[in-house]
Amino acid sequence: MLSQPSLRMKRLLLPVLLLLSVVAAPAGQAQTAPARLVPFRQGTRWGYADHTRRLVLPARFDEAGPFVEEIAWVRLGQLYGYIDGGGNPVTPLQYTRAGNFRQGRATVELSGETFTIGVSGRRLTEPALPEPEEDPLEQGDVVRKDGKVGFRFTVGTASVPAIYDEIRDNYNGLLFVRVADKWGIINGRGKLVQPVQYQTIRLTGNLAFPVVQLAGLFGYLDAEGNRLTDLRYRQAEPFAEGVARVQLPDGQFGYVDTSGREFWEEAPTSGQ
């Protein structure tokens, strides 16, 4: 049982620790609960489905974005706007460009002018908060030998021999390693879980699910460094709120979730 001074100290330390955990979280790496709805394409029209692929908001848009901070961009014709989780408009369909929300702000273009709006749809004038600086290697220390680099983990006894040309950290227990122009993946136990064969590994955005490229096609790895999807997409964007936008070989777009499930079908099913 804690003494009274210990309890007081615990109460004082808890807010400080919580604040430090927020400040220390690198930009783009914080994991949040997946959005309730996922953009779903039926043929060439877009609506929103739940995570079982059941359509919830009808496919009536020409394009749709993910729900980030409970707001999603949609497009009809050449114009974009924003909706809430019930499909209700947050802004008119008036923008010629619109992006996802981030920290309560989204970048839009209207009449040739680019600016930011808040979650109410109103134009913002105050500058955005600066992004926290990222520590490229927070799990341990680089070891250098004969012009090559290895790695020594801070926690545990695992180490990586100095045989690589570059090592990067994804803040989620994985290391990205490069030899010449090829990349591989090492897990937190120092084991090579993906061979050094990929043309690229995405080093920006949400790195809990790395984007990898091989033979000109993209796919995703899971948080353990295993294959989450096949490498069959022409484009693959970082995950946001549990979903990621991909381009298929036929040029069409769709979304995948963190289990690798795909959210599109080429023709509407009967009764929808």
- Residue 200 three-state SS: strand
- Residue 220 three-state SS: strand
Which of 118, 144, 160 is the last residue in one of the domains? 118
pLDDT value at residue 2 = 42
Task: Classify the C-alpha dihedral 188-191-193-199 as positive or negative.
Answer: positive
In a domain, 255, yes or no: yes
pLDDT value at residue 58 = 96
Question: Do 208 and 257 belong to one domain?
Answer: yes
In a domain, 11, yes or no: no
Are 162 and 148 within 8 A, CB to CB? Answer: yes
Question: Do 187 and 205 belong to one domain?
Answer: no
Which of 92, 118, 144 is the last residue in one of the domains? 118
Pairing of strands 253-257, 243-247: antiparallel
pLDDT value at residue 206 = 74
In a domain, 265, yes or no: yes
In a domain, 123, yes or no: no
Number of domains present in the structure of the chain: 3
pLDDT value at residue 34 = 76
pLDDT value at residue 39 = 98
User: What type of residue sits at position 141?
Assistant: D
Question: Do 48 and 106 belong to one domain?
Answer: yes
In a domain, 28, yes or no: no
Question: Do 68 and 100 belong to one domain?
Answer: yes
Question: Do 49 and 93 belong to one domain?
Answer: yes
Average pLDDT per block of 10 residues along the chain, 272 residues long: 44 36 36 80 97 96 96 98 96 97 94 95 84 60 93 84 92 89 93 96 83 96 94 95 95 96 79 52
Question: Do 186 and 243 belong to one domain?
Answer: no
In a domain, 20, yes or no: no
In a domain, 235, yes or no: yes
Residue carrying the six token digits 């134009």: 123
Residue 183 belongs to domain spanning: 136-194
Strand partners, 186: 175, 192
Question: Do 44 and 60 belong to one domain?
Answer: yes
Question: Do 106 and 62 belong to one domain?
Answer: yes
Query: CA nearest 140: which of 183, 174, 184?
Result: 174
Question: Do 168 and 236 belong to one domain?
Answer: no
- CATH number, domain at 86? 2.40.10
Are 167 and 160 within 8 A, CB to CB? Answer: yes
Question: Do 144 and 186 belong to one domain?
Answer: yes
Question: Do 153 and 172 belong to one domain?
Answer: yes
Tokens of 218: 């993209």
